[in-house]
Structure 1
Amino acid sequence: MKKVSVIGAGSWGTALAFVLAENGHDCLIWGRRQEQTDEINEQHTNQAYLKNCKLPESLKASSNLEQVVEHADILIVAVPTKGMREIGSQLNDLIQQPKLIVHVSKGIEPDTLKRITEMLAEEIRPEARKGLVVLSGPSHAEEVVLRHPTTVTVASEDTRAAEEIQTLFMNSFFRVYTNEDVLGVELGGALKNVIALAAGITDGLDYGDNAKAALITRGLAEITRLGVKMGANPVTFAGLAGMGDLIVTANSVHSRNWKAGNMLGKGHSLKEVTEGMGMVIEGVRTTKAAHQLAKQYDVSMPLTEALYSVLFEGHEPKEAVDWLMNRGKKKETDDFSN
């Protein structure tokens, strides 16, 4: 049994805490709101994020971050990318003994273009970290808590750290692979949200299966093209953190990025979508970051460019699709160049 703390009581943080408690670990989860942690402790539910899910009675919650940090040697950080630096700074102040830190979020910081491990490395002093690990892959929280078979990957520059987290989470319904390509795993997890937003738009426009299949396929090519240019292993994008996560996020009603895109395709404004969702839509911020990365690395990313024009330049979704369909001739098998 290990002592583990999960920082963040949203749907994914709660689902991972569920897995850890199921595995017999002493798990404490942190939430900002006292009423939410009281609900987890007393009702063994977290209805705002996972409706009708009964949580293990062994899973405990606290709104006292210092208590949660002191509880464990392994910290699972499950907060949105937008709040990652703030929570990293708080952890830096609170950590007294080195911790193994795992992040499970998917995004890229606009303007700085930092991945989450880079952000955490900047905010948390080296002597407070035993290692940094990223957990990613096709994994809807709603299905994990139903014990449906789910497979993810964990990546770290420290192989032993990745293997420790693999062992921590592995069970009969939650399978974990290891990967040394931290860059590729983080890029795949973040950029698939961009394509999932676009996939939701095509569904909102009622463009059907042909358009969806083309978008996912070309979206994966676009993700791979940028990732390879940045130094990632192309094989990673054919795996769980790339193609796997893209398939599940672009096709599922559980995906908030797909839902947001679907609403955009049906004519809602971005403001209406973000206010109506009530949860962070990582793909919106990541679209801005991906647009900036494409320019910095001089990589062609037409789907990202089209989505950026819809989100930030006021173009209509159908107008963006027409632009994509009427681009100049390309050769599909060119080496990540089209």
Structure 2
Amino acid sequence: MPGDAKQVLGQPIATNRVLGRRVLILGHGAMGRAFELLLSARHDVVVWDRDLQTWVETQPLEDAAQQRDVVIFALPTQPHDELAGRLASCLDGDALCLSIAKGLDQHGRTPAEIFDHHFGTRIGWALVYGPMLARELQAGLAGFAMVATTQPRAGEQLIALFQGTPLHLDLLDDPHGAAWAAILKNVYVPLIGAADALALGDNLRGCLITDMLRELADIIETMGGRAKTAYTLAGLGDLVASATGASSHHRRIGADLAVGRTDCLAASGANIRTEGVHTLAMVRAHRPFASDRFPLFQLVCQFLDDPPQLRLRLDEYLDRRFARHAR
């Protein structure tokens, strides 16, 4: 390949391109690497990470954040409070922060609540949710997501950040609703993975996804968001991609549990990979909404508590679900 170009996402990019924003990516897992690949050709990208065993940081976070225009939280929700608190005092008012996390922290808070607490309106912030599986982004395939924020200027700047990449973004002014849509999607998806692993049929999958969306919309509205957010890329789009995608981690959790493999429930310190499972534990602990009002949500809880009983619980759910139509 010529010395004045490098291959990025399948396209030759000249190395003398004028770089745009100064971006700091927190976390170097699958999504952190995907965002690094997406942005490095057009922006000045620095990656910060730390060893979860020794807690040693690649460099002090406060040093890494100096003169950075954009900070991307490409890690689970659990460390958001600590990291946002550290960043709030060293980022200037023109900085932008975005998160892709889809879980609750140990206090039962969403990334939107954490960002709102630490950044408020002083620092622009947004959440990015939608069908954007890391493996596909790394392969140069298209991703699609909503930039959820109440700050239009921040949203437009973040959309501009990804222009020229395969990640296509749209604006949504309901960050709290979007957060619950993305978080609860991770709770529901394992049920689809389990049903598929047990070969229960495409028809059942269609029924379950329909019921998931109805409950998702109701819970979002209960938590102060807009019901219609459930039907955006942050809800429906992400749900379908995760429920049917071969590389979906949460789909695989359900499939593993259905066939008796329970090691997928293990969490590793602050880096909780099974965010849907952790979300269920936090909902039970903090009760942000009355989960017993939502039968499918309860079915997921029963499934994770006792995976071998899934077939029985599904039959009971369907009997109740359609009993009101019996004559």
Paired residues of 1:134 and 1:154 also in contact (CA < 8 A):
yes
Moved more, 313-322 or 299-308: 313-322
Matched position secondary structure for 2:28 = coil
For 1:74-128, what per-residue CA distance to the aligned partner results, in whole angstroms no more than 9, with x for missing partners? 11111111222232233346x2534321111111346x43221212333x3658x
Which of 25, 39, 45 matches 2:43?
25
Q: How far is the alpha carbon of 1:261 from its aligned partner?
A: 0.7
Match of 1:304 in 2: 297
Which of 237, 252, 255 matches 2:230?
237
Q: How far is the alpha carbon of 1:300 from its aligned partner?
A: 2.7
Paired residues of 1:155 and 1:181 also in contact (CA < 8 A):
yes
Query: 1:93-104, aligned counterparts within 5 Å?
Result: 95=90, 97-98=92-93, 99-104=95-100
What root-mean-square deviation, in Å, do the aligned CA atoms of Structure 1 and Structure 2 show? 2.8
Match of 1:45 in 2: none
User: Does 2:210 align with 1:217?
Assistant: yes
Q: For residue 317 of structure 2, what is the amino acid of its counterpart?
A: L
Paired residues of 1:195 and 1:215 also in contact (CA < 8 A):
no
Match of 1:119 in 2: 114
Question: 1-side partners of 2:215 and 2:287: how far apart?
Answer: 10
Q: For residue 68 of structure 1, what is the amino acid of its counterpart?
A: A
Moved more, 241-250 or 298-307: 298-307
How many correspondences in the alignment? 299
TM-score normalized by the length of structure 1: 0.79
Q: For residue 156 of structure 1, what is the amino acid of its counterpart?
A: T
For 1:168-220, what per-residue CA distance to the aligned partner results, in whole angstroms no more than 9, with x for missing partners? 11225221101111122111111111111111111222212122111111111
More helix by percentage? 1
Q: How far is the alpha carbon of 1:151 from its aligned partner?
A: 1.4
Query: 1:4-153, aligned counterparts within 5 Å?
Result: 4-22=23-41, 24-33=42-51, 62-92=58-88, 95=90, 97-98=92-93, 99-109=95-105, 112-122=107-117, 124=118, 126=120, 129-153=122-146
5+ residue gaps, structure 1, are 35-60, 333-338
5+ residue gaps, structure 2, are 1-19
CA change 1:131–1:237 in 2 (3 A) is same
Question: 1-side partners of 2:189 and 2:195: how far apart?
Answer: 10
Which of 183, 187, 194 matches 1:194?
187
Question: 2-side partners of 1:88 and 1:132: how far apart?
Answer: 11
